[in-house]
Amino acid sequence: MADATTATLKINDSEYELPVLRPTEGPDVLDIRKLYGQADVFTYDPGFTSTASCDSTITFIDGDKGELWYRGYPIEQLAAKSHYLEVCYLLLYGNLPNAEQMEDFERRVTRHTMVHEQMHNFFRGFRRDAHPMATMVAVVGAMSAFYHDSTDINDPWQREVASIRLIAKVPTIAAMAYKYSIGQPFVYPQNELDYASNFLHMCFSVPAEKYVVDPALARAMDRIFTLHADHEQNASTSTVRLAGSSGANPFACIAAGIACLWGPAHGGANQAALEMLREIGTVDRIPEYIAKAKDKSDPFKLMGFGHRVYKNFDPRAKVMKESADEVLDLLGIHNNPTLQVAKELEKIALEDEYFVEKKLYPNVDFYSGIILEAMGFPTSMFTPIFALSRTVGWIAQWKEMIADPQAKIGRPRQLYVGEGKRDYIDVAAR
């Protein structure tokens, strides 16, 4: 099949020709769109382990080599040389901006950082101890109740305005969710600050005293945003696409993405990974946890390890690890017990036969929690920070889908294994 343009499928005595689609990179893709109509069979792939759900020009991952590109640019180069808003432009519009385009984009995002004042009342309805992700799902979804002039998905201008609004306001919403949870007043955005500094300022400043953002911490924050900006058709992005395929408005779709990201198998892993490292506590307890992770009868998994696509080092984890060292150095945090456990756990797991054989490497979430904790964020803010970083990826993927004339409502089929048809029985006779 390697050089063929079609593949032949034989079912009983009938043969079916399936077109073979050629990607720019990555494995060939069998086009089965007409298979049901021709052969009256479905394909079966729970968890989409072998199924391409769309074509896309945005992000490419080579899981075996451990490579990640945004619009063709390797993540390592973007993390070292670019900055988050430039990466947002790249993901949204396909190319790096020139100086004028960058300035215009930054101005547009910056002009939208405040949220509707009435949204403040919305926050006050939540319990103080609500998880910031619970608040974010609700408040981002509620944006559709405030910004009616950007919910018509058939109008490209409204789609553009909604995109800018989301990128600009999600940090404000995440910071407000945090401030509310700790009982401090909301801090308005400061538009003279860059995107990452503004977020740190909204999270950590208080009216009672001046807060000056450390530029090195802002750079580390910006890098965390960049590393999480997109990751092709992962669970939350696919959720956004599926929600959007019905024609739902962009704020509702991004809220759906945030809800999906929350799970510990996905974005919630950064919180879970740090909590696990703290629970392990000391290096001598690592073998006990490695044994638990290997035990089939124990549901425990080593959080921050393993990935559906990467069967090699997650390239984001490499950058994140360097960043963790830099940030801890900068803050004068030496001999941090959590970092010691993390480093030792990484070493042991990378040499352990079970992890080597299953190709389980540390993923991006393994190190991000250490940096965020050092910056002063509680674990409950880790996933909201992931959500704010990923908002641009969700939007870029949603926009790509909406603009595609071939896009259809997402409607998977099933392998029904329930009861055959049966007649209703009166309760007295059951």
Q: Applying CB under 6 A, which residues contact ligand ACO?
A: 265-267, 269, 293, 301-308, 358, 360, 363-365
- Give least dist CB 235 to ligand ACO, A: 8
Q: What are phi and psi of 276, to 5 degrees?
A: -65, -45
266 catalytic? Reply is: no
d(CA 5, CA 124): 59
Nearer to ligand ACO by C-beta: 71 or 307? 307
Nearer to ligand ACO by C-beta: 90 or 360? 360
Under 8 Å between Cβ of 304 and 350: no
- Give least dist CB 224 to ligand ACO, A: 12
State the burial class of residue 228 (Cβ atoms within 10 Å of its Cβ: 0-12, 13-18, 19+): buried
CA-nearest of 182, 228, 226 to 205 is 182
Nearer to ligand ACO by C-beta: 164 or 274? 274
352 catalytic? Reply is: no
Q: What are phi and psi of 279, to 5 degrees?
A: -65, -40
DSSP string, 203-250: HH-BTTB-----HHHHHHHHHHHHHTS--TT-HHHHHHHHHHHTT--H
298, 307, 325, 404: the active-site residue: 307
- Give least dist CB 204 to ligand ACO, A: 25
Nearer to ligand ACO by C-beta: 141 or 304? 304
Q: Which residue is nearest to ligand ACO (CB)?
A: 306
User: Which residue, chain included where needed, has tokens 């510990």?
Assistant: 264
Under 8 Å between Cβ of 370 and 339: yes
Nearer to ligand ACO by C-beta: 109 or 303? 303
d(CA 183, CA 233): 37
194, 365, 404, 426: the active-site residue: 365
Nearer to ligand ACO by C-beta: 144 or 237? 237
Kind and range of the H or E run holding 9? strand 6-11
Kind and range of the H or E run holding 16? strand 14-21
Sign of CA dihedral 342, 347, 348, 353: positive
Q: What angle do CA 136, 140, 143 make, to 5 degrees?
A: 150
CA-nearest of 189, 196, 258 to 226 is 196
Nearer to ligand ACO by C-beta: 303 or 401? 303
- Give least dist CB 295 to ligand ACO, A: 9
- Give least dist CB 304 to ligand ACO, A: 5
Beta bridge partner(s), residue 166: none
- Give least dist CB 1 to ligand ACO, A: 25
Under 8 Å between Cβ of 37 and 16: no
- Give least dist CB 5 to ligand ACO, A: 31
Q: How many CA atoms lie within 13 A of 407 on its CB side?
A: 19
Sign of CA dihedral 96, 98, 99, 105: negative
Residues marked as catalytic:
307, 365
